[in-house]
Amino acid sequence: MLTLITLEFRKLLGSRSAQLALLISFFLPLLWAVAPRLGLLLGNMAVVSGWQMPAVSIGVAVQFMIPLFIAVVVAEMIGTEVSQGTLAPLLLRPVSRNHVMFSKLLVALSFPFLLIAATVIGSLLVGIPRGFGMFGGGTGMGPGLFVGVGTLTSGAAFAEVLRGSLLAAVMLVPVAALSLLCGVLFLNTASAALATLAILNIMRLLVVFPQALQRVLLTNYLALYTQQGNLTQALILLLIYTVGFSAMALIAFDRRDI
């Protein structure tokens, strides 16, 4: 099993799509270093600390760009192997289909963490000129968002960024599970990626429905990294989505004629 997981990680990191996604996630925050109208993005607020840059970058990328990267790269984990004819020979080996799929699933669910990590590292590099000392305001990931609730120390700012980054990755994990499910159902990278994005966009359009329905929509939690207070209900819902999509992917792969 460990061998399969290692193999899938090598495939993922060797994929040009994954490499491009990670590079863009890392280098895109560098635009903020030369962006003359960055304050408009934040409602005419001045960015006074490097600790605020991760929230800016994640806030811009998480609504479309990062889900797009996840949809394409994860779908490719199935679609590329089918098109190249390498998946069928793998299934002929004395390894169960469930083990093959489970290894792909673990790697797919880890991809959002890699993308968020690349985004945060790039953002912190951009924030070096602004410094990482004590400042008045917020990181954009804690109480009061960028306004904050007073003076924030470096340690408290780091804790807010770490917490917000982990939540940003966690809220994207169901998207990876959904993309893998679509990959199994369609066995084609383009079709699976389009289906994943279509489902997410349809969920966004359901904002016109009653509030009770909106509370269970996955897209309603794509700003989880900024939320404060008790997150138990949100995390349970994201877990249900992840487990549900993952279970359906495992069942579908076991019954799929490759």
- Choose between 125 and 80: higher pLDDT: 125
Q: What are φ and ψ of residue 152, in 5° steps?
A: -115, 130
Residues in the chain: 258
Q: What is the mean pLDDT of residues 170-197?
A: 96
248 falls in which pLDDT band (50, 70, 90)? very high
Tokens 């000129």 belong to residue: 129
Give me the pLDDT at residue 177, please: 97
Give me the pLDDT at residue 63, please: 84
Q: What are φ and ψ of residue 168, in 5° steps?
A: -60, -40
- Choose between 154 and 63: higher pLDDT: 154
Which residues share a beta bridge with 135?
152
Give me the pLDDT at residue 147, please: 85
CA distances from 69 to 108, 175, 206 (A): 12, 10, 23
135-136/151-152 β-pairing: antiparallel
Which residues share a beta bridge with 152?
135
Picking from 79, 95, 94, 73, the residue whose alpha carbon sits closest to that of residue 25 is 73
pLDDT tens, residue by residue, 7-16: 889 999 999 9
pLDDT tens, residue by residue, 101-113: 899 999 999 999 9
Structure tokens at 69: 């990267």
pLDDT tens, residue by residue, 217-244: 898 898 999 998 899 999 999 999 999 9
213 falls in which pLDDT band (50, 70, 90)? confident
- Choose between 34 and 128: higher pLDDT: 128
* Rounded-to-integer distance, Cα 57 and Cα 125, Å: 12
- Choose between 170 and 39: higher pLDDT: 170
Is residue 124 within 8 A of residue 54, CB to CB? The reply is: yes
Looking at the chain, the whole-number percentage of residues with pLDDT higher than 70 is 91
Q: What are φ and ψ of residue 151, in 5° steps?
A: -85, 135
Work out the mean pLDDT of the chain and round it to a whole number: 88
Helix (H) or strand (E) holding 183: helix 154-186
Per-residue pLDDT for 47 more than 80? Answer: no
Give me the pLDDT at residue 30, please: 85
Is residue 251 within 8 A of residue 105, CB to CB? The reply is: no
CA distances from 66 to 18, 72, 87, 125, 173 (A): 11, 10, 27, 19, 11
Give me the pLDDT at residue 82, please: 82
Give me the pLDDT at residue 189, please: 93
Tokens 């099993």 belong to residue: 1
pLDDT tens, residue by residue, 139-176: 999 998 888 888 899 999 999 999 999 999 999 999 99
Q: What is the mean pLDDT of residues 37-60?
A: 78
Picking from 11, 191, 245, the residue whose alpha carbon sits closest to that of residue 107 is 11
